[in-house]
Amino acid sequence: MWHDEAAFGVLLKHSAVLDRSFYCRSTIDVAKSLLGKVLVHGATAGVIVETEAYLGGNDLASHSSRGITDRTRVIFGPPGHAYVYFIYGMYECLNLVAEPEGVPGCVLIRALEPVAGIAIMRERRPRAKKLEDLASGPGKLTIAMNITRRDNGKDVTHGPLTVRSFPKTKQPEIVTTPRIGIRKCADWPLRFYIAGNRCVSR
DNA sequence: CAATAGATCATCT
DNA sequence: GATGATCTATTGC
């Protein structure tokens, strides 16, 4: 129902930016709660349909598991900030930092259902044939929404990169599976997606 | 369909 | 010097 450009103004008017308390919870709670929320960057927006939790403690799949370095500093910082990293020499991936300051934990945004700025996203990803190919993966969505390492450390509770919620949206049905593309802790059930959604990655 | 190779570089050992 | 929270094109059945 939002699938056209004019709907962008409606989206902004009827939704509210999530504040820091949303992110200042356990990483798993934040990962699940982000499903159904709307990621907005510039003139593009998409519903978050798939996430993964990367924990502190003994989660060796997490970048934060080796402690604070130049790269992982923001994961240990205050919640509600973006952690963007470069992977495989080609792609950038967007995470949102959870947990109180000093406690590591972040949520990888793995897939979006595009809702506004779709023409712009298609220009950025000309090889995507169908709508569900535009942002159905962590590397795809950063290209479609033009999110790069310049956004690393940015506060997502205000500014050009935010997450919004619609007050009357009910909680979607969530499916839980192991995380994708990792070797360590490969069987931990920390991937979450909206049941039946076509934009979930494969 | 499924499996695999290639692209390409920041980060850490 | 190896690895990796990926994507795409190509090959083979």
Domain boundaries, given as residue ranges, for chain A: 7-194
Considering only CA atoms, name the residue closest to the C1' of nucleotide C8: A127
Q: Using CA atoms in the order A171, A177, A182, A188, what is the torsion angle rounded to 10 degrees?
A: 100
Which amino acid, one-letter code, is at A136? S
Residue A83, token pair as written in the block? 């952690």
Report if CB A69 to strand B is under 7 Å: yes
pLDDT at A3: 57
Which tens digits make up the pLDDT trace of A159-199? 999 999 998 888 999 999 999 999 999 999 999 999 999 99
Query: Residue closest to C4, CA→C1'?
Result: A88
CB of A164 lies under 7 Å from some atom of strand B:
no
Nearest nucleotide to A138 (CA to C1') is C6
Asked whether residue A112 carries a pLDDT value surpassing 70, the answer given is yes
Q: Residue A104 in contact with residue A149, Cβ under 8 Å? A: no
pTM of the model: 0.96
Name the closest nucleotide to A71, judged by C1' and CA: B11
Distance A9 CA to C1 C1' (A): 51
Residue with tokens 């169908």: A130
Q: Does residue A1 surpass a pLDDT of 70?
A: no
Q: CA-to-CA distance for A150 and A175, rounded, in angstroms? A: 32
A7-194 sits in which CATH class?
alpha beta
| Å separating the CA of residue A88 from the C1' of nucleotide C3 | 9
At A9 the pLDDT is 86
CA atoms in the 13 A half-sphere facing the CB of A142: 23
**What are A3-50's pLDDT values in tens digits?**
566 778 889 999 999 999 999 999 999 999 999 999 999 999 999 999
- The predicted-structure confidence for A47-67, as pLDDT tens digits, reads as follows 999 999 999 999 999 999 999
Rounded CA-CA distance A142/A195 in Å is 23
A54, closest nucleotide (Cα–C1'): C5
Question: Which CA distances in Å does A129 have to A17, A115, A136?
Answer: 31, 16, 12
A122 DSSP 8-state letter = H
| A66: CB within 7 A of chain B nucleic strand | yes
Structure tokens that stand for A178 in this block: 């192991």
A150 touches strand B (CB under 7 A): no
CA A191, chain centre distance (Å) = 12
